[in-house]
Structure 1
Amino acid sequence: MPRQSDRFYTEIRRSHHPLAFVEAKGINGEVVRLTVKSGDVSVDRTASPRRSLNVTVVDTTGALVPDKTRGLLTPYGTELRPFRGVRYSDGTTELAPLGVFHLAKVDPSESSSGEQEIKVEAFDPSRRVIRDKFIRPYTIAPGTPIIAVIQRILARTYPNLEYDIVPSPMVTTQTIVYDAGDDAWEAVTELADSMGAEIYFSTVGRVVIAPPNDVDANPAPEFTYIEGPGCTLTSLSSTLSDEPGFNGVVIIGESPGDDKPPVRAEAWDEEPTSPTYRHGPYGEVPLIIRDSNIKSTFDAVVAAKKRLNELLGFVAQLSITSVVNPALEAGDVVLVQRKRSKVDDLFTIDSFKVPLLGTDTQTLQIRSKRRRA
């Protein structure tokens, strides 16, 4: 589903007036729009945290320079919300939120001319969960719905979170104990993975728990880079590698009974036109995963397919530079067609940056999901 209006996507495909800013919200509720000199938002679906913000702010009045531990731009609870969008010819604007970030590091400096600059580093809310480690053994009883477990763990850090969840009937199959010092975000990530889902904070601060995009089930791309009028792509480079190159996943779960073997499922690249087709010259390169939370063949199949979707395509990667589309999300499916580079395929976005200056371009790291027939 498009995150912005049709008008927005039409506008960014032609010469337009970009608009970007960052709002800072202090612990007392004060909101200030910052004067941004440079910066960007980085998004990486394999990283924890998934989103990070690096920005240089100009302090024209001196009011933003921290006074030791006091001030708006101190790493003790300040929230940053960057936006980027367009200003239409009629003067109206449309903005895409780029995330909710907690300030982590502040570096003020003063130039010889007396100009005050403040370099700011911030991360999405998952960093606070990562830092809020279990301080004593944390036990989950067997038979507890996994989504409820995830929500309970996150509530330790954020009691009032809002969620966007694709429901799952899966429950824990045995007692789970997290020891003091264990990473709570790693725990919920592994629990989501056992359901065939991924977990992250959205650009508006909601927790998303949902399966990753499956290009074969939903081939309509979120955005297209097709050479010709309206194409925003300016350059691309490609990398072909057979590492790690897994083209199959074998999931081994929990035994359904004392006298029965563990449940098991396999998922393979079964597309004959794919370069990593299991029965082709490439052969079989399986990833073996053991997960005690999986107690049925159905759950094992779901988890195997989800993991395979994440793995397929690492052998065909592109780095593309384009005019900025701030509404993208890691995991989105895009179509790239470039005849001279022999590229005509669907790709999934692994990582990208959104610059906060209107003159900058956007770089995306994408990988092939399948060969187009």
Structure 2
Amino acid sequence: MWSLSTQARIALTQSHAMQARATVSSPTYGVLTLPLSGGSVEVDATSKVRRTATLQTDPRWWPHSPTDLLSPYGSTCRVDYGIVLPSGDTEWVPLLTGYLDETSRTRPITGSGDLTVKVADPAQRVAEDRLDVPAQTIANAPAVSEIARLVKATLGPQLDVIDETGSSASASVFIIERERWDAVEKLADFLAAEPFFDPLGRLVIRPQPTLSRNPVWTIRTGNRGSLLTAKDKRSREQVYNRVVASGQRTDGVPAVYATATDTTSPAYYGGPFGKKNRFYTSELLTTTAQCQATADALLARTRGVGAQVEIEALVNPALDSGDVLAVLDPETGETRHIIDKLSIPLTPDGTQSITTRSDELPAET
């Protein structure tokens, strides 16, 4: 969750005004703050490109040439959400820093005539930058530095990289056939981590989020609560209660492996849910400890996926995927949830959609 002042936290629980702005920078045109008439920012931890935005703006900015401001040929965009404080000041929360992906319009104009501009975070640029010929990672280089090297080769040496793993572990050398971002994710899996770009466009490498972390925000029902609706879903799809992670050898030597088993959630291994294994193999896993760390991280990623809650709530623009929410409901009490997806509307009348997962099932009634 983006850090907020005490005044902003209080304002979010009360009636308040908001603002939104999009600042576009073009290599040839310069910098302009676009007037926005609508739009939203989407955050999805299950997607390769975690942050995207759809913006509506004035039709006079239609790009007639590839060098115009809103042409998707190099222009960048930063989207911010403004919380108007009781003092009248505005506290700005960054939502997305990325590249213009598409600009479209409809003719003849029958409605507002607004342009629709789509923005994607830098992961899309990295994914598009596929290797001309196969290459290999650098021997004995820390996995974190290899992730940074692969991404900076696309985005430039000035890119800020935030490593929250603190790991100096080196991965085995492997061949990158074509897909640069796939190699980045593979190295992150080796570290039991996830790579993504934050609202400022910085590359973050952090351990997989789990429900053991403290909640960053509480959503309540009832009077003065921020929870509007909640839709519960229970499914076996994508739920695994044991992960087996193993190395990959071609020299005849038995590969190392380790298992991580769910023994505490309602879907615990061998219980009423049954036994459902997931198998993960990588040539980067050369020790039992590495296999164990990867298995633990993959289990944390799939635990609770079958207990999803879709929440409609008052907007908190500072929330992020991977954050832990506390939901207070008279029917179910307090439950904790990890955010997988959320949207931030850029209009005053919008509400926030949040998709979460939790392995804390409500009591049967």
TM-score normalised by structure 2 residue count: 0.92
Contact 1:110 1:117 in 2 (8 A): no
One-letter amino acid matched to 2:186: E
TM-score normalised by structure 1 residue count: 0.91
Contact 1:2 1:222 in 2 (8 A): no
Instruction: Give the stretch that moved more between structures: 112-121 or 27-36.
Output: 112-121
1:320-342 CA-to-partner distances (Å, cap 9, x unmatched) read 100111111111111112234x3
Q: Which runs of 5+ in 2 are unaligned?
A: none
Instruction: Tell me, in whole angstroms, the C-alpha distance in 2 between the residues paired with 1:116 and 1:172.
Output: 52
Instruction: Tell me, in whole angstroms, the C-alpha distance in 2 between the residues paired with 1:263 and 1:227.
Output: 49
One-letter amino acid matched to 1:358: P
Alpha-carbon distance change, 18 to 69 in structure 1, aligned in 2, over 3 angstroms: same
Contact 1:346 1:372 in 2 (8 A): no
SS in 2 for 1:308: helix
Contact 2:307 2:361 in 1 (8 A): no
Contact 2:11 2:86 in 1 (8 A): no
Task: Please show how residues 33-72 of structure 1 align to structure 2 within 5 Å.
Answer: 33-59=33-59, 62=60, 64-72=61-69
SS in 2 for 1:14: coil
1:134-184 CA-to-partner distances (Å, cap 9, x unmatched) read 0112122443321122122112211221111022132122x31222xx221
Instruction: Tell me, in whole angstroms, the C-alpha distance in 2 between the residues paired with 1:167 and 1:372.
Output: 36
Residue 254 of structure 2, aligned match among 228, 251, 261 = 261
Instruction: Give the stretch that moved more between structures: 315-324 or 101-110.
Output: 101-110
Instruction: Tell me, in whole angstroms, the C-alpha distance in 1 between the residues paired with 2:188 and 2:119.
Output: 25
Residue 218 of structure 2, aligned match among 224, 227, 242 = 224
Aligned pair 1:321/2:308, yes or no? no
1:64-108 CA-to-partner distances (Å, cap 9, x unmatched) read 221222311111111111111311122211111001120011113
SS in 2 for 1:67: coil
Instruction: Tell me, in whole angstroms, the C-alpha distance in 1 between the residues paired with 2:109 and 2:252.
Output: 77
Contact 1:141 1:172 in 2 (8 A): no
SS in 1 for 2:358: strand
Aligned pair 1:344/2:334, yes or no? yes
One-letter amino acid matched to 1:161: L
Instruction: Tell me, in whole angstroms, the C-alpha distance in 1 between the residues paired with 2:42 and 2:256.
Output: 39
Instruction: Tell me, in whole angstroms, the C-alpha distance in 2 between the residues paired with 1:360 and 1:10.
Output: 19
Instruction: Tell me, in whole angstroms, the C-alpha distance in 2 between the residues paired with 1:131 and 1:2.
Output: 28
SS in 1 for 2:319: coil
1:18-42 CA-to-partner distances (Å, cap 9, x unmatched) read 1212111111472211111111011
Cα deviation, residue 12, structure 1: 0.6
Task: Please show how residues 295-310 of structure 1 align to structure 2 within 5 Å.
Answer: 295-310=286-301
Q: How many aligned positions are there?
A: 361
Alpha-carbon distance change, 196 to 372 in structure 1, aligned in 2, over 3 angstroms: farther
Alpha-carbon distance change, 6 to 270 in structure 1, aligned in 2, over 3 angstroms: farther
Aligned to 1:251: 245
Aligned to 1:83: 80
Cα deviation, residue 5, structure 1: 1.5
Aligned to 1:177: 175
Contact 1:22 1:80 in 2 (8 A): yes
Cα deviation, residue 276, structure 1: 0.4
Aligned to 1:9: 9
Alpha-carbon distance change, 89 to 299 in structure 1, aligned in 2, over 3 angstroms: same
Alpha-carbon distance change, 238 to 30 in structure 1, aligned in 2, over 3 angstroms: same
Cα deviation, residue 48, structure 1: 1.8
Aligned to 1:162: 160
Q: Which runs of 5+ in 1 are unaligned?
A: none
Cα deviation, residue 229, structure 1: 4.6
1:207-260 CA-to-partner distances (Å, cap 9, x unmatched) read 0001022222x2x201111234542110111111111221111111256x9786
Contact 1:170 1:299 in 2 (8 A): no
Pairwise CA RMSD of aligned residues?
A: 2.2
Aligned to 1:149: 146
Aligned to 1:367: 357
Instruction: Tell me, in whole angstroms, the C-alpha distance in 1 between the residues paired with 2:84 and 2:119.
Output: 27
One-letter amino acid matched to 2:30: E
> Identity across aligned pairs (percent)?
29
Aligned to 1:99: 96
Instruction: Tell me, in whole angstroms, the C-alpha distance in 2 between the residues paired with 1:79 and 1:259.
Output: 50
Instruction: Tell me, in whole angstroms, the C-alpha distance in 2 between the residues paired with 1:119 and 1:31.
Output: 19
1:284-305 CA-to-partner distances (Å, cap 9, x unmatched) read 2110111111122222121111
Contact 1:321 1:362 in 2 (8 A): yes
Contact 1:344 1:372 in 2 (8 A): no
